[in-house]
Structure 1
Amino acid sequence: MCLGVAMLSVNDAIAKLLTSDYNPLQILFLRNVIALPFAMGIAAAIGGRAALGSRRPLAHVARGALWVGATMLFFTSLSRLGLAEATALIFAAPFFITLISALVLGEIVGWRRWLAVLAGFSGVLVIVRPGGEAFQPVLLLPVAAAFTYALLMLSARWLDPRDSVWTLLVWLTGTGALLGAILVPLVWVPVRAADLPAFAGIAFFGVAGMTMITQAFRLAPAVVVAPLDYTGLLWATLFGWAIWRESPDELTWLGAAIIIASGVATILREQRSAA
């Protein structure tokens, strides 16, 4: 899990580097096109040829659209925000999942989970600081990405229960490539030969990271591995400082700490409820 999160952090750092010269849509499209053969190879090797197909393809296409939207919002935010700052705000996704589950899907949510949600949102507000002098509208982009990502997670209920996690990986990558192919001509610029290793790297680290995280959830209880997702903030801070000399301010650190603490509390609470 830790290695997978680190690889996804490398993926984000490369994406931030590329946003100075390429539209996020083009970055996402090329990542998916390069990654698709690898994703299909991994799925076929582990899950067999059956892992490449699905009985509910339209559900996968809809989820792919949500994934493209979430990634586009996040990559766009990376072009304007510090890596650690954007990463901290994307961790608001679990609280959106709880909110949507209760208000839209009618699930019963206890008062402890509501407190965790309120705490998580307070952490987001500490970072975003709406109405303050430090407020930037671009700070809302990773929050919107977190909301879209929450919809993506909840949309897993639309899928055929017989579909494996490898099927999900292939269809997300393939749908991203397909949707990107439709829209990318609007923003396409020639790719410099010097940038090809970066595009290959973002494809490799993205697929490898997701594969390792998926395996972690297969091999260990969610309560053990899920909190380790927050190690991504450490990597984001390290890469942000080493490459761009970014240093989050005190309020960003405080907001991130509140978000992480409430997220871990939610995970532990749900594990106890399921026991």
Structure 2
Amino acid sequence: MVSDNTRGALLMAGSMTAFTLNDTLMKTLAGEVPFFQAVFLRGVATLVLMVAIAPLFGGLRLRLSRRDWRLVVLRSLAEVASAYFFITALYNMPLANVSAILQALPLTVTLAGALIFGEAVGWRRLGAILVGFAGVLLIVRPGTEGFTIYSVYALLAVAFVTVRDLTARRMSREVPSFTVAISAAVAVTVFMGAGSVFVDWAPMGVGALLAGFGASVFVIAGYLCSVAAMRVGEIGAVAPFRYTSLLVALVLGFLVFGDWPATPTLIGGALVVATGLFTLYRERARAAAPSAVSRPAPLRIR
């Protein structure tokens, strides 16, 4: 019989695979469909799908405290910024490179939690974070020929996703995950829709329309799987499988776009993943009591 942790790990791996398939489909639209148009149309399709599945989550609950609404708004704004920087980088960088940079998130969230909220971080985890950031430098390689402004965009995406996740940590238990998710989806769609007014829309063939709709389906599938994973298994056992996304990105980047990262990028990605896994292990080891606040599973609108 399959254990809860095994089911949770499979669901998390499925979630990360779905999110990476979404990234791949969005990247196929680069050069064919303007950025704002593509993300806006995907956002509209995503919202339609979210409304359709709302009954599964008990519907949309809007009666929140003023403090929680401020946090929901802040998180949504961070989602908008991360979506803009991430997808712009995705349009202009190899898929695996962008994915490798995003793997630094557990490190940045841990460090920011310590600096901003005073969360305890021992010397082992601090050392792992520093090594992980060295891995990020190997991926972006500032000062080399491969370094571009889009590498900075990917790093900015990490920064804003960190803000997003830390904001979610401060929300009370009364805030439903679905309310947080759909608020972020609305914010991203409205922002991209406003931006699309100032660009010339391109006609979309059947292939482009299917890619955009498929991206929406995979975003929703990734969200549902991530929520289910956290509900089924222990966080410490499930969270490490988020790194499945990097392996999937390597394979899809090669098969779909013919890209394979340079050796320093592969080494940097390995360092980031290794230190991230160590950080998760240390967090699990020191966890003595449940958190006082809920951590709604994030919808990755990027």
Query: Alignment partner of 2:92: what SS?
Result: coil
The separation in 2 between residues aligned to 1:58 and 1:25, in whole angstroms, is: 26
Uncovered stretches (5+) of structure 2, i.e. residues with no partner? 1-11, 289-302
Is 2:61 the counterpart of 1:48?
A: no
Letter in 2 for 1:108: A
The count of residues paired between Structure 1 and Structure 2 equals 273
Task: Deviation per CA, 1:53-112: give whole Å up to 9, x if none.
Answer: 241444323211211211211111112211111100011122221222222233332111
Letter in 2 for 1:203: S
Is 2:250 the counterpart of 1:240?
A: no
Matches within 5 A, 1:195-274: 195-274=208-287
Equivalent residue, structure 1, for 2:14: 3
Is 2:204 the counterpart of 1:189?
A: no
Q: Shift of the alpha carbon at 1:3?
A: 1.3
Check whether the contact 2:22–2:215 (CA below 8 A) recurs between aligned residues. Answer: yes
Task: Deviation per CA, 1:21-41: give whole Å up to 9, x if none.
Answer: 233333222212111122133
The separation in 1 between residues aligned to 2:168 and 2:200, in whole angstroms, is: 32
Q: Shift of the alpha carbon at 1:233?
A: 1.0
Inter-CA distance 19–134: structure 2 relative to 1 (3 Å threshold): closer
Q: Shift of the alpha carbon at 1:132?
A: 3.2
Q: Shift of the alpha carbon at 1:158?
A: 4.4
The separation in 2 between residues aligned to 1:86 and 1:269, in whole angstroms, is: 26
Matches within 5 A, 1:90-239: 90-194=102-206, 195-239=208-252
Inter-CA distance 180–160: structure 2 relative to 1 (3 Å threshold): farther
The separation in 2 between residues aligned to 1:177 and 1:52, in whole angstroms, is: 20
Aligned residues: percent identity?
31
Query: Alignment partner of 1:186: what SS?
Result: coil
Letter in 1 for 2:42: R
Q: 1:60 aligns with which of 72, 91, 111?
A: 72
Q: Shift of the alpha carbon at 1:133?
A: 4.0
The separation in 2 between residues aligned to 1:26 and 1:57, in whole angstroms, is: 29
Q: Shift of the alpha carbon at 1:5?
A: 1.1
TM-score, length-scaled by structure 2: 0.85
Query: Alignment partner of 2:117: what SS?
Result: coil
Equivalent residue, structure 1, for 2:41: 30
Q: Shift of the alpha carbon at 1:153?
A: 0.1
Uncovered stretches (5+) of structure 1, i.e. residues with no partner? none
Letter in 2 for 1:8: F
The separation in 1 between residues aligned to 2:193 and 2:145, in whole angstroms, is: 40
TM-score, length-scaled by structure 1: 0.93
The separation in 2 between residues aligned to 1:141 and 1:54, in whole angstroms, is: 36
Task: Deviation per CA, 1:104-134: give whole Å up to 9, x if none.
Answer: 2333321111111101101001111223344
Is 2:99 the counterpart of 1:87?
A: yes
The separation in 2 between residues aligned to 1:54 and 1:254, in whole angstroms, is: 48
Inter-CA distance 214–191: structure 2 relative to 1 (3 Å threshold): farther
What is the CA RMSD across the aligned residues, in angstroms?
A: 1.7
